[in-house]
Each structure stands twice: as structure tokens, then as C-alpha cells.
Amino acid sequence: MEEKILKAKRGMDVLIYSIIAYVIAFAAMIYGGILMDEGRTYGIPLFVIGLVWICIGWLPFLGLRVLKPQEALVLTLFGKYTGTLKGEGFYYINPFSVAVNPAARTSLRQSGDVNSEVKPAISVSSTGSVSVAPADKKISLKVMTLNNNKQKINDCLGNPVEIGIAVIWRVADTAKAVFNVDNYKEFLSLQCDAALRNIVRVYPYDVAQNVDTTGDGEPDEGSLRGSSEIVAERIKGEIQSRVNAAGLEIVEARITYLAYAPEIAAVMLQRQQASAIVDARKMIVDGAVGMVEMALAKLNENDIVHLDEERKAAMVSNLLVVLCGNKDAQPVVNSGSLY
């Protein structure tokens, strides 16, 4: 169902005319009553007309609607979709039109539902009585943020990962949002979960060998931790393809939380620490070997001392122990001959 913009009358004009009509009706009743007391029969029609208007004249007031900026009303008349009222202002519509918003009472973890001034839909008083507040049938056209709950998903290597996303969205087509799905807010939340699970299982948490994340058949370095922008863009496209039928537009999607699941977090931390230690040791050894080579080259170049192969091996061993050791070396002073 496509959206149809409804052109409504100015509400202020109808309000003024209705009030004037009430004043005239009261005046007609009073004047007709006076004429009837005087025995004049033409006072009866005036009295009846005034009485009838007073009885039914409140109906136009039911058609008055006030819309704030970025709000819309989806209207139906006896079950038939008549159009969507958009744009801020004071309007008059058919008094028998009904506003429809199936997600009016739905509260998710999103920016549009966080409002301390709005009373809860269902409240319980101190005496135990339950009262139901009327739901606002207006549909917000503002850009809103949905913070979905964190999910535990297995990445492409089978490691359980906890991930959370924030989806920035807005209603683009009010008719589709109201009539194509049962509840567009719950529908969006469900599709976010499904899209997130579908994309995360393609990537490893960290860079892994022989993993194809792009689908071109070639291994790449894509990962959830290192390619967050690419992953977020793919999640956005996946969600958008799923919510087109509901008339929703996904503006942006961002990863807000990413971590290993608690059951493997400690093991993965040890693995990362071991990898960091190995990389650090490799760097230290490379630097120590370079310094030993430089020391031997300087000794030979300046002809300071002549060392045979055995002494060179001992010197290299001592330098490597000093340079690669975790603790400070204890020097031993040799006061005798070198040989």
C-alpha cells in the first residue's frame, strides 16, 4: 500500500465557525422561547433549530487535530485508508476518521521511547486500581536510534562473540509502516537481530588466515575488530533490504559493543598475550642480533682486539644474554689476560 498525502482544511476556521454557530444556536433558542411565550408559532422552528445544533454541534470539534513538526497521522474511515496527514499545524478532518498506529504502545530501547513527560500506557495506583492511559496515535517522522540488546553469535571460526549495534532509522512511508506489518517497531528490532547474525557469522573476531569475508574466493584480512566500518555498512544494507516492505529507512548502523563471550574471554586473552609476547621477543632478538653484528664490525674495523672464532662465539653468547635477558646482568670483571 502506497502512502497518500491527505489535504485537510484549516482547523482554526472550523473552530471559529463552530463557536459562532453555537452562539447563534443559543440566541435562536432564547429568542424562539420568548416568541413561544408570546404565543407566536414561528418561534417554534427557531427553538428547534437551535436545540438540534446544540445537540449535534460538538461533532466538528472531534475533527480538530494539532500536529507538531515531524509528526504524521495515518487516517482510516470505516476501515478504509483515506490518507496520511503531514506537516505541522492545526487541521480539521472528518470527525469519523480514526488514527491508526499499531506501535503506539510499543516501547523499545530507542530514542523515541525515552521521554519522562509521557505517562506509561498501563499504571497501577497505590489502591491497586489499574488505569490505561490513551496511546498517542501520531507517528514520529524524526530520525531515531534503536539500541538493540547484545547478542551472542558465533563468528566464522566458531568462537562465541557478544556484539551490540545501534541503528539510526526513520519512517519513510507511513502507509507501509502501519498496514504492511503488524508492528513496525518490533519488526525492525527482529530484522536487526537477524541481519546482525547473518553478517557476523561471515567474519572472524580478529584477523585469521585463509578466511574469505568478501565472497570473491580470495583470503583477506577482514575482521570484526579491524573492519568495523565495513561490517557496519554491510549490516546497514542487510537491514535495509529486510525493512523495505515496512516503509522504513535505515540511516546508519554502528557497532557499539564487541567482545568475546565470557566463557572463552580468559582463554582468548591468554592467546593474545602470548602472541604479543612472541612478537615482542622476536623484536628484541632481531635488535640484539643487529647490535652484536654492529659490535663485531666496529671491533674489526677499528682493529681494537683480535678474536678467534671461539672468543667471538663466547662474546656473541654473552651479548645476547645481556640484551635478551629479562633481568639486569651481573657484570664479572676479568683483571687477568684475555687468553
Interval 294-331: pLDDT, tens:
877 777 777 666 667 777 777 777 777 776 766 666 66
Interval 16-58: pLDDT, tens:
998 999 899 889 888 888 887 777 777 788 888 888 888 888 8
Q: What is the C-alpha separation between 335 and 315, in angstroms, rounded?
A: 17
Q: List the domains of the chain with CATH numbers.
A: 1-100 (no CATH), 141-260 (3.30.479.30), 271-324 (no CATH)
Q: Rounded to the nearest 5°, which phi and psi values hold at 23?
A: -65, -45
HEC string of 61-83 equals: HHHEEEECCCEEEEEEECCEEEE
Model pTM score: 0.70
* Total residue length of the chain: 339
